[in-house]
Amino acid sequence: MFFKNLKELENILKNSGTSIICLKDGEKVGDEIFSLENLTKTLGNCLIIENHNIDQIREVINLTTTKTNYPRFFLFKNAEKLQIQAQNSALKLFEEPKENYHFILFTTTPDALLPTIRSRAAIYTPLKLNALETPPKAEKEVFELSKRLLVANQAQVLDIAEELHKRKDTEKSPRREFVLEVLKTTIELAEKSYFKTKNEAFTKKINGLIKAHENISKNGIIRLQIVANLI
C-alpha cells in the first residue's frame, strides 16, 4: 500500500500491529523529509532497534510479555540486516502482536526479509511523483498475467488459476515462486488502480490477493488458494 505524507504514515503505524515501511532517514515524502528521530517524538513510547541479532529480539520479547494500557512502538531500523535466526525468533511476535504493541520494520529492501515475515505484515511505500503511472518491475510474462488477473471475472479467474497450477517448474523460475511473483505484481497494480479510481472493488481484490499470496507461500495448493480468495 501507499501513503502520501508523514501524517498519514503516523496514522498507519498507530493502527497497525506489524508493518513494513519502505522508507529511510532523509527520504522525501511529499513536501517533508522523513526523520526517524522526529517520528519517535511524535509517537512517544518508542524503542529503536539497531542491533540485528537474536539477543536483541529476545530482549524485545521480554519487553512485551506484560499487558500495557498505552501504545508502545518498536522501530526496527535497517530491518533487512536482521539475522536469519533473529527473524525466525521474531515470527510469533510479528504474527500475533498483543494489544497496544506495534512493530514497525523500516527497510528499503523488503525482499531481504523472510517471506514468512512479509506475509505477516502490511508493506507500505511512500507515494512518489508519477508512481501511479509507473508499471511494476516484473518480467513480461508475469506482468501480462497480472494484468489479466487484475480485471478477471469469475470464469477468467478459474482459467488463470488452472493455468498457473499446471505451469511447469523451470530452473530459472520454479512454479511456486513464479505464482507468488504474479500475485505480488497484481497487488501492486490493484493498489495503484485504487489510488487512481477510489473504486472499493480494488480493496476487496487486494485483500484476496494478499491472502492467496500468504497461503501459497506456506505451500498451499495454488489453484485452490487463487479460486478461494479471488472468487
Closest to 228 measured CA to CA, from 202, 208, 205: 208
Give first-to-last CA distance, the chain, whole Å.
22
pLDDT of residue 119: 77
Query: The cell 500491529 sits on which residue?
Result: 17
Question: Does the pTM of the predicted model rise above 0.75?
Answer: no
The string of pLDDT tens digits covering residues 190-200 is 888 887 787 88
Chain-centre distance of CA 18, in angstroms?
Answer: 10
pLDDT tens per residue, range 136-153: 778 899 999 999 999 999
- Please count the other Cβ atoms lying within 10 Å of the Cβ belonging to residue 99: 9
CA–CA gap between residue 176 and residue 220 (Å, rounded): 10
Q: Is the pLDDT of residue 63 over 90?
A: yes
Q: Coil, strand, or helix at residue 82?
A: coil
pLDDT grade for 173, boundaries at 50, 70 and 90: confident
- Higher model confidence: residue 45 or residue 131? 45
Q: Is the pLDDT of residue 131 over 70?
A: no
How far apart CA 100 and CA 202 sit, in angstroms, is 29
